[in-house]
Structure 1
Amino acid sequence: MKNHPNLKLCLGIDPNPNKNDLESFRDSVYKHMEILDFCSSSLEHRVIKPQLAYFLSYGSSGILLLEELIARFQKQYTIILDAKFNDISTSFKAYLNFVFHSLGAHGVTLSPFLGEKTIQMAYEEGAKHCGKKARSFVLCATSESSQGHLSFIQSNWKKTLLACSEIRNEIFQGEESLYCTTGVVVAANRNEVLFSDELKESNLSVLAPGLGVQSSDWNVIRNCSNHPNEIIFPFSRAIFSGGNIPIESMNENLITIQQYF
């Protein structure tokens, strides 16, 4: 939606070939890269989100391919590493160094479970390495969550929003241009959070996954047309199908999805 620049299409990089061998995985990654090369000039907002798990499953060879992908597209795209990291402060610092320095990504997803200190570290490190291009997203309201004893974690989404916005306001006081670098993950099917006054008033950026299959209701994108927050919608399977379809089909899928933006 060219009249709604806050809504952004993100290309999810989830290479998951039907054959579980390194050669098939490499071919899948290169298919994704070919589409990224082809469409970089036509996308209004160039954002990609590699899922670390798929690359880790092939060990050092997978990490080398991830490094190759990021190095190749670092200048053309904003790259958010979907890793859902967190740890105690000293260990988390090493994770952040891996993301922002070793790999050269611009953003990361992280868990809030270890508290405000690590969220602050992620926000600060992202801004230090990447400036306004940085994006760090804290898990807030996901599509899969506990229905049992651990359900309290996501039931307290309002407190997660409050914590993230207060941390941002404190560390970027007087630097409102960096507010966009701080965000939360809110699944596209969590309407009670996505359209809440609390989220809108937080002014946090939003990563809204969950529209990855053809049967999903993509009208939520248009329903967000007047949303004040930056909302990034990742699409992976609906475009790339894990790398298991021809490149021509991937391109056709991308063209279809672009009509919603």
Structure 2
Amino acid sequence: MSVRATVCAQQEVDIRLLGGPSVSGPTAGGVVPGGVKARTLLAALALDAGAAVSTERLLDYLWEREPPRSAVKNLQLYVSRLRRCLDTANTGFARLLVHVGHGYRLDVRAETVDALWVDELARRGAAALRRGDLTAAVASLSSALSGWPVDGLAGLVPSGPATAVAALWRERRLAAVEHLAEAMVALGTWSEAADLLAPQASAHPARESSQVLLMRALAHSGDRAGAIGVYRRLWHVLDADLGIRPGGEARAVFEGIVGPC
């Protein structure tokens, strides 16, 4: 594949990892690699788009500490499956998966990988929030979350590396929701912030940062009882699960609602 053809292919390919790995191109969309290991291989390579990933690292993704004796040959089989998947999306895309030294490289740009793109948008939004550009923060973070499902990187082999990277993307999404809610609260769109935070606060009852933001959003929107209820639930969860009390920020918000205890 010529340099020009490679660049064109890099622009045309669309790799989805969030919600389950798939590849799309001009010929076909939503092509799923056959088998969970081939899907995990796609994720491992796409998350390091344009960079070589060592065979050792890929074997860790697929089998962690107990690879079979045939692991390297099996890896080659999964590479072949992934190349067929790429070619189904568009003729010639298979050449984007390159064998380099002691590993493989997926020759695609970061912006063609949904997980990398939404993460970049979230980073831009967080940076805008830090510098006080609330409108830009809301725009970037809203765009990021619109393409970022709660289940994140799903359908991968339950190995240590794959589990760790899936957990990392879940944490980044949680942080993006909180950054967006913080910008919304600062802009005075309190009810919208509360609606955004409520599912996350319910799913992660011990995550104090989400609970504090929800308390603030509810209190500002006039739901004093709701904000007090969030604090009491946080207190009970932390006490029952961890034997600790809410931190200083949560207590300060609570006291601001009900007055000093």
What TM bracket, shorter-length normalisation?
Answer: under 0.3
**Structure with the bigger percentage of strand:** 1
Flag the structure with larger Rg. 2
**Structure with the bigger percentage of helix:** 2
User: TM-score with structure 1 length normalisation?
Assistant: 0.25
Larger RCO (alpha carbons 8 Å, 6+ apart): 1
User: TM-score with structure 2 length normalisation?
Assistant: 0.25
